[in-house]
Structure 1
Amino acid sequence: MTNDSFYKKRKVIPIGPVSELTGLTERQIRYYEERKLIFPERSERGNRKYSFNDVEQLIDIANKREEGVQTFEIRKDMLKEKNKQDKELKEEMLRGQFNAQFGVRKK
């Protein structure tokens, strides 16, 4: 994992600064969590913690909502994209296993 992706994935930002960064209200952010569009972690005290990736995701969600896209459509698209990424990862892993098994090497 590169340093860039490591810091972007760490869930350390409280909801207040996320609200300021995205221009969304805290209520809107909690609503997107309820709609399963964003998945913050919780601190020991139960406070939500977000990552920079979450902030980018929230901005994307807000832009789509401004275009009139409903939350269920956004979720459906997110699931399609995740399934596509999962499939690509699985294919890559299978290729790696096949190459290891049969000694195929990339040039």
Structure 2
Amino acid sequence: MSPQELETLAPLIGFAICAFIISIPVVAFSARFAVKPVVDALIRLREAQGKMNSSNEMLVLQDRRLSLLESEMQHIGTALERLAEAQEFQARLGAPLSVALPTARPAPAGAAPE
């Protein structure tokens, strides 16, 4: 390039540099304000999904706890039945016998006692 061509391009190059220095921040702020609602919506969506996942986990945990409580109640019921049977058995052991014992018959008058 000749020096004359450089002299004619110098103001154009200076203008381009100034335009870039000014336009880059303007474009960045515009993009930030344009993209911010989209980013906020995506953040809210992820939070909602996280809450749904945690609520599902809570439901699974509650179901597990409920099944454990049900099995514990069944175990307690079985133990209570066994305890009632044992108490009934102990009561029968301690009850007086109601078996009729043979009574002694009086010996006939001339018989010798054995």
Considering Cα pairs closer than 8 Å and 6+ residues apart, tell me whether 1 or 2 has the greater RCO: 1
* TM-score grouping bracket, smaller chain normalisation: 0.3 to 0.5
Which of the two has greater strand per residue?
1
Of structures 1 and 2, the larger Rg is shown by: 2
Which of the two has greater helix per residue?
2
